[in-house]
Chains A and B, each alone.
Chain A
Amino acid sequence: MNTSELNSNIKAELSLIPKRSQINISLILIIAAFTLFTSFYFMWNDKSNWYVPFLSALILFLVAFLFWWKTQPQTDLESTHPTIINSQSGTQLSCDSKLMESNTAMTNLSALLESLGAKKPLPAPAGMIDSNGSIVEGSKKEAERVAKSLNDINEEQVSKIQNALAEEQEVDIKLVNNIPIDKELESRNGVMPTI
């Protein structure tokens, strides 16, 4: 065996500095440890109620573990770079890497990205039509007002979304998961009968 193959370089870095929500977990662990030592003290001195701090410590350890289990994936992704998604139309979406943890959030963001690229403002209409489908004479001005109103709403939404995505912020995945993206429409158009 070549000696160079034996020259492995092992480097590990251990950091015990708690971050963000881990600070709360650390506090719970400290209290749990203190409570556990209290129960040991009670046992050592033959106190009859030793099990009270003992059970309390067990519960606190359990709570700390559950908190850690829930927050660990997000803590691991805390220092990651934003994920950038490019659409075919050239639209670029920068989002928090923590969103990658949720398939639903990613599906909704993908649909949103396609919407941003595909949707165009309404052109000026020629007029309005009534409930019978007939053209209403002299309704061009009113039709243009309706189209402009819809375009303004659309433009405002795009502007707000662009501002929201440009800002560095934490996004609640639950909210993104609940974005309605016309799933029914997508699924209906996606299913076609075989010939």
Chain B
Amino acid sequence: MDNGLTTSLTDIAGFGTLQTVQGLWYNKTDISIDGYKFSNCRFDSCRIFVNTTRFELFNCFLSQDTSIIYGPELIKVVKLWNSRNELIIRDFPVFAPAKNADGTISIIGTHQ
């Protein structure tokens, strides 16, 4: 195998692991955290977008006014988690599965 291909595969390996972001402060900005490991970072008044489980937050601060926007595939797990929580189903329908008239539930993402 030539060195070029080995280098390429090393790059693939590098891309497959989480990229560490150390000690950064984000203020009033939109940020997607997929693929990163945030370590000792701070988020003030931000909108954090997350679409996969491929992220880590280590010793990070999130202000109260920072909102988190969950992707449709990720929210399915939350809906399943809340599938029998009547309080969540009633008060926070966005985090709950669709409750059908016959008592069954539906959790639908973008995979069809």
Contacts and interface: CB of A to CB of B under 8 A. Distances in A.
A161 B8 contact: yes
| Interface core residue of B21, B42, B73 (most chain A CB under 10 Å) | B42
Q: By DSSP majority rule, is chain B's interface helix, strand, loop, or mixed?
A: mixed
B106 interface: no
B23 A129 contact: yes
A135 B5 CA distance: 43
Interface in B32-48: 32, 34-36, 40-42, 44
Contacts of A181: 16-17
Interface in A154-193: 154, 156-158, 160-161, 163-164, 169-172, 175-176, 178-182, 185-186, 189-190, 192
Contact of B5 (A128, A164, A190): A164
| Chain B interface residue bracket vs A | 35 or more
A116 to B, nearest CB: 7
Contacts of A124: 29
Contacts of B7: 160
A103 interface: no
B30 to A, nearest CB: 7
Interface stretch (A1-9, A64-72, A142-150): A142-150
A139 B22 CA distance: 14
Contact of A120 (B22, B23, B32, B77): B32
| Interface core residue of A108, A114, A126, A170 (most chain B CB under 10 Å) | A126
Interface residues of A, number: 53
Contact of A175 (B6, B25, B52, B53): B6
B111 interface: yes
B103 interface: no
19 contacts: A115-B35, A116-B15, A118-B34, A118-B52, A122-B21, A123-B26, A123-B31, A125-B24, A125-B26, A125-B29, A129-B23, A143-B24, A146-B23, A147-B24, A154-B15, A160-B7, A170-B1, A176-B9, A179-B13
Interface of B: 1, 5-9, 11-19, 21-32, 34-36, 40-42, 44, 49, 51-54, 56, 59, 61, 73, 77, 81, 84-85, 110-111
